[in-house]
Amino acid sequence: MAGLSKNTPYPIEIKLHQKSRVLDITFSDGKTFQFPCEFLRVYSPSAEVRGHGPGQEVLQAGKKTVNISKIEPVGHYAIQLNFTDGHNTGIYSWDLLYDYGLNQDKMWLRYLQRMDDAGASREQETASHITHSCK
């Protein structure tokens, strides 16, 4: 897996708060990061979200209320998150999560700007919100 470094702090505690939809991770250097499930879902390291190369990222809309239903360890270097929308293909390595923690504010603002630019919504669409126009 790309980017794994033996110098990267590793999690000493991972705690999911399902009611508030937040994943707390405390690292070995004492830093603690709080990740909303929506943030982790829209920045999933999966090919489905990131694409297979630069410029192929897929904007993830309608993920405001997504939660994590299951956390699975992947060796001694990562976790796999199962989300309530069925997404479960991203492998979140310790260095990726640490980097996300350090850059979360910038990443979140970039996501909100991309959503705004695309005219997309964080709210999940339901049948009552979908309209079709025929001419």
Please give the helix or strand (H or E) that residue 36 lies within, else none: strand 32-36
Give the domain range for residue 47.
11-117
The CATH number linked to 19 is 3.30.2020.30
Closest C-alpha among 130, 133, 131, 134 to residue 62? 130
How does pLDDT run across 55-77, given as a tens digit for each residue? Answer: 889 999 999 999 999 999 999 99
Task: Kindly state whether residue 126 falls inside one of the protein's structural domains.
Answer: no
Residue 122 lies in a domain: no
Report yes or no: 45 and 92 within 8 Å, Cβ to Cβ.
Answer: yes
User: Do 24 and 15 meet the contact criterion of CB atoms below 8 Å apart?
Assistant: yes
Tokens, residue 22: 């937040």
Report yes or no on whether pTM surpasses 0.75. yes
Q: How many domains does the chain have?
A: 1
Signed CA dihedral, 126, 56, 74, 10: sign only:
negative
- Please write the tens of the pLDDT for every residue from 33-55: 999 999 999 999 999 999 888 88
Q: Is residue 125 part of a domain?
A: no
